[in-house]
Structure 1
Amino acid sequence: MSRSLSQIPDDHLLFWRMVEALDIPLAEAIRDDEVTPDRLSGMLSKCAHCRAPDYCALYLASRDGKARTPPSFCKNRAPLEKLQARHPAD
């Protein structure tokens, strides 16, 4: 049985929490057209349909909200790593 976002109130926040944990300036990437609305929508959709939201939340919690890389099971790992490479943390 599939789960809906309304059944799991925190899941829709995991993408944003991951972006913040990875220190990715997403607003800047959007402004600079590195992330288009369609691409962002696709990334959000992948996150929303992830089968491991509990593991994702645990991954973030175990790192006090800061991470050097997305978890290996993350469906958005490749695009998030590309954004990290383009915007290294200070």
Structure 2
Amino acid sequence: MFKLIQRADDHSALFHGMTKVVGADFGRELEHGIGRADGLRSLMLKCARCQKPDDCGRWLEEHAEGASHPPEFCPNQAALARLA
């Protein structure tokens, strides 16, 4: 059980890091009525199921100053690029 909770925490941190690095603006999305809470939840679940958390962590370290788009391996690449 602890491993499952730790995995969720780890992926939550990666998801938050990715949105920050690429400048994804969920507020703007919600403000215009395009996004919904279940859409955000779906993105977070995709992240939690990702099999490349180590690659993600390295990518985030390498792009700590920001990036114009998420990496190709990110399961949320298209959605986050649209929000950036």
TM-score (norm 2): 0.82
TM-score (norm 1): 0.77
Q: Which residue of 1 aligns with 2:49?
A: 49
The separation in 2 between residues aligned to 1:25 and 1:68, in whole angstroms, is: 13
The separation in 1 between residues aligned to 2:59 and 2:82, in whole angstroms, is: 20
Question: Counterpart of 1:16 in 2: which secondary structure?
Answer: helix
Alpha-carbon RMSD across the aligned residues, in angstroms, is 1.8
| Count of residues in correspondence between the two structures | 82
Gaps of 5+ in 1: 85-90
Gaps of 5+ in 2: none
Shift of 1:64: 1.9
Q: Which residue of 1 aligns with 2:70?
A: 70
Higher helix proportion (structure 1 or 2): 2
